[in-house]
Amino acid sequence: MINTDSKNLSKSNGDKEGDDIDLMALLLVLLRGWKVVVFFAVLGLLIGILYSRYVNPTFKSDALIQIEENSQGIAALGESISELVGSEASKAQTEAELIRSRMILEPVVNLLHLRIQLTDPNVGYIDKIKNDRTDTQINTAEGVSLDTESGQVQISQFNVSQAYLNQNFTLTRSATGFVLTNGFDEFKGQIGQPHKFKGVDGQIHITVNDLPATDYPINIIKQSVKATTDAVNESLSVVEKGKQTGIIQLSMTGANQQQVTSVLNEIVLSYVNQNQSRGSEETTKTLTFMETQIPTLKKRLEESEAIFNEFRKKYGTIDVGKEAELLLGENSQIDAQLNELKLKKADLTTYYTEEHPLVIQINEQLAVLNNRKQEIDNTIAGLPEIQREFLKLSEDTAINREIYLTLLKNYEQLKIVKAGQIGFARIIDLPISTFKAIAPKKLQIMILAMLLGTMLGAMLVLLKNLLRNVVKDPERLEAKTGIPVIATIPRSPLLSRLSKNKKSADRMLAHVDHNSLSYEAIKSLRTNLMFGMPKEGLTAQSAKVILITGESPGVGKSFIVANLSEVFAQLNKKILVIDADMRLGGLHNMFNMSQYDGLADYLMQDHSRLNQVDNIQKDNIQKGNAVSNLGIADFIHPTAMDCIDFIPRGKHPHNPASLLMNDNFGQLMAELKSQYDYIIIDSPPVLAASDAMVLGQYADKVLMVTRYDDSIEGQLVYAVKQMTKSNIQVDGIILNDVQQGLMSKYSYHYNYAYGNNQ
């Protein structure tokens, strides 16, 4: 049980440590690519600055409107008038949508000439960035104006036929006036005068009040109503402030504070006027109906009064009996009710049909009253003829007077109502100009652009690391290749600075940076090789051959070979350096020597000697001449350093690999081993040529050089496999040009300089 828990705990700790290492490795990848990250951060910041200057400032205006649930004007005059006119409820959300409709916006568009769009084509991208902002048009009831660097544009009228809508015209001042063209038609006119032109696609009405200097073009477009109202809606915001508050907030944004405030102000006024018109519409219809009925009722009353007066003059005053008086009173009341119901019915039928419930209800009441009236009329029919006639004329006169006075009273009341009606929307705040830009928020844009640039740089660094897994971790290399990393050579800052100077040819650490960590690392490599070599007693009089190669060009093989030979020479050992890279070898530059009279020359001359023996040996003997060939000593050159000899690569041959595979190279190596203590060979890269596989047959130690943070890990692994397939055992890997710093997780692979650093 204890063992199981221990294993689980160990596994858990191991997983946690692995996660920490992965996160640390990810962080180190970003830190190592800090230059890329900083570059993109600065680039993002620069783009943010340019964008914030390129975009015109945006201004905003606000207004508030209160929407009441119903109109209070009619109810204040009494219940009877309220019943006549009725009430209408309105929701703030519905009104908000109504404000955005063309019914409200189109009058504003026409009033301020918003369909006319002026632009200055002479303002380019650089001008926008340089000036930080550009002028935009101003729309007023008088026309449209635009300021330019060469003067002002003023247009008071521009109407075109349907075919010319949304087409771009160019307006230019000429010596005699102006020229208007769209690329096909060209019209000429006078400034300050209205003109009517007839083009291919229709008519154009335009009045130009002012233009910039001569030959300064201005673009002018007449938009369609829908395009203009859509553009206004894009910059207009209409929302209810809070929930069920009835307060509508209108906001409008644009590039010109004066323009925004003016347009929003007209929108508010247009909506309120429309709202007030809708609120009084019902009252207006009722008054119109009453105005048509009053003259008719007055005439009817006058006629009934005239007939009644004539009857009284003819027969004198008649004393109606008690029963007749009662019947007359009841009949009069019924007639008054009938007339009132007929009036209400006439009013309702202006809005509703005969099938409406209210109309049906009134019809039923009329039927009941008519039945009762018929019963009274039958009773009265039994009275004497004169009394019956008096009753009828008196009744008609009273009824007509009552109807006329009632309608006249209501008419006068409704006139008062209409005068005081204000609708159910009222303005709380009209828009005002603050001249304070709400956008672009330059600081936020620059910070955001810099952050986006940083993120992009980080993504590129991570992507590069993912796609190009470079050599960095010695332990990882050992795990991948199975070959030990026997040396990590730090970068020499002094030598790096000298390398930038093309005139400085000396690359020997002993001469330029002998107290550096790089030089100490080369010495450590020498020690490692010496203890790993076969003992001298076992192979007496035989040099130790060290082959140094790499997976690809540019890993620093020549640097390692030259400096390693120098530290071996410090032991008073006789050293031979061979540049076996007969294609692109540059080891002669390290020793400041010529590349000629080298290995390739020797091997090719050796072949030519064999041909000479076969072909012209007899001729030479007959002439008394001997066949002359240069010996190996003629191709070995002493260097400026004691105990070090050098064989350069020689002239570039056509078949370097074939020359190395010839038996003559084996004989050469056998002869050289007897003359030197150490032979260090610089070979071509494994992945570039097969020479290293041939040279490895003669080496006691084969070392693979790779460059830190530059060589591809997969290429190195493949190069080792290629050597293994050729039965060449790679004895060690040299990690060259390792850079030390806080960003390097593996900086502990450095050695410390110990001693005099002066």
pLDDT (tens digit, 9 = 90+) per residue, 616-629? 443 443 444 443 45
Q: Is residue 546 assigned to a domain?
A: yes
Indicate whether 692 pLDDT > 60.
Answer: yes
Contacts of residue 662, Cβ cutoff 8 Å, sequence gap at least 6: 603, 607
| pLDDT digit string, tens, across residues 111-158 | 999 999 999 999 988 888 888 788 899 999 999 999 999 999 999 999
The pLDDT of residue 576: 94
From 273, 301, 316, give the residue that closes a domain. 273
Span 310-327, mean pLDDT? Answer: 65
CATH number at residue 361: 1.10.287
* Confidence band, pLDDT 50/70/90 cuts, at residue 344: confident
Span 412-438, mean pLDDT? Answer: 82
Q: Is residue 677 assigned to a domain?
A: yes
The pLDDT of residue 681: 94
| Percent residues over pLDDT 90 in the chain | 40
**Integer CA distances (angstroms), 305 to 107, 294, 391, 671, in order:** 54, 16, 13, 159
* Confidence band, pLDDT 50/70/90 cuts, at residue 401: confident
* Confidence band, pLDDT 50/70/90 cuts, at residue 422: low
Cα dihedral sign for 244, 245, 246, 252? negative
Residues 126 and 243 in one domain: yes
Q: Is residue 427 assigned to a domain?
A: no
Smallest Cα–Cα separation from 197: which of 209, 205, 207, 185? 205
Q: Is residue 84 assigned to a domain?
A: no
Span 506-513, mean pLDDT? Answer: 76
Indicate whether 607 pLDDT > 70.
Answer: no
Cα separation of 602 and 169, whole Å?
Answer: 84
Residues 214 and 266 in one domain: yes
| Percent residues over pLDDT 70 in the chain | 82
Residues 546 and 515 in one domain: yes
The pLDDT of residue 73: 45
The pLDDT of residue 629: 52
Span 725-747, mean pLDDT? Answer: 77
Indicate whether 542 pLDDT > 50.
Answer: yes
Residues 233 and 139 in one domain: yes
The pLDDT of residue 20: 46
Residues 238 and 331 in one domain: no
**Residue given tokens 């340019």 in the structure block:** 50
Q: Is residue 619 assigned to a domain?
A: no
Residues 693 and 632 in one domain: yes
Residues 243 and 109 in one domain: yes
Span 679-707, mean pLDDT? Answer: 92
* Confidence band, pLDDT 50/70/90 cuts, at residue 275: confident
Q: Are 456 and 45 in contact (CB under 8 A)?
A: no
Q: Is residue 430 assigned to a domain?
A: no
Residues 295 and 201 in one domain: no
Counting the structural domains of the chain, the total is 4
Q: Is residue 717 assigned to a domain?
A: yes
Indicate whether 654 pLDDT > 60.
Answer: yes
Residues 488 and 633 in one domain: yes
**Domain range for 311:** 282-420
Span 562-570, mean pLDDT? Answer: 92
The pLDDT of residue 647: 93
The number of angstroms, rounded, from the C-alpha of 684 to the middle of its chain's C-alpha atoms is: 50
The pLDDT of residue 33: 84
Residues 446 and 521 in one domain: no
DSSP 588: H
138: tokens are 């101003």
The pLDDT of residue 536: 54
The pLDDT of residue 750: 46
* Confidence band, pLDDT 50/70/90 cuts, at residue 206: very high
The answer to which of 69-78, 164-173, 626-635, 688-697 has the lowest mean pLDDT is 69-78
* Confidence band, pLDDT 50/70/90 cuts, at residue 328: confident
The pLDDT of residue 423: 66
Indicate whether 382 pLDDT > 70.
Answer: no
Residues 215 and 256 in one domain: yes
Bridge partners, 218 (sequence order): 171
Indicate whether 259 pLDDT > 70.
Answer: yes
| pLDDT digit string, tens, across residues 215-254 | 899 999 999 999 999 999 999 999 998 888 889 999 999 9
Amino acid at 528: N
User: For all residues of the chain together, what is the average pLDDT?
Assistant: 82
The larger pLDDT score, comparing residue 90 to residue 510, is at: 510
Residues 701 and 664 in one domain: yes
Pairing mode of beta strands 544-550, 575-579: unpaired
How many alpha carbons lie under 13 Å from residue 642 in its C-beta half-sphere? 4
The pLDDT of residue 255: 93
The pLDDT of residue 303: 87
**Integer CA distances (angstroms), 539 to 354, 535, 536, in order:** 131, 7, 5
The pLDDT of residue 741: 54
The pLDDT of residue 254: 94
Q: Is residue 737 assigned to a domain?
A: yes
The larger pLDDT score, comparing residue 289 to residue 502, is at: 289
Span 595-621, mean pLDDT? Answer: 61
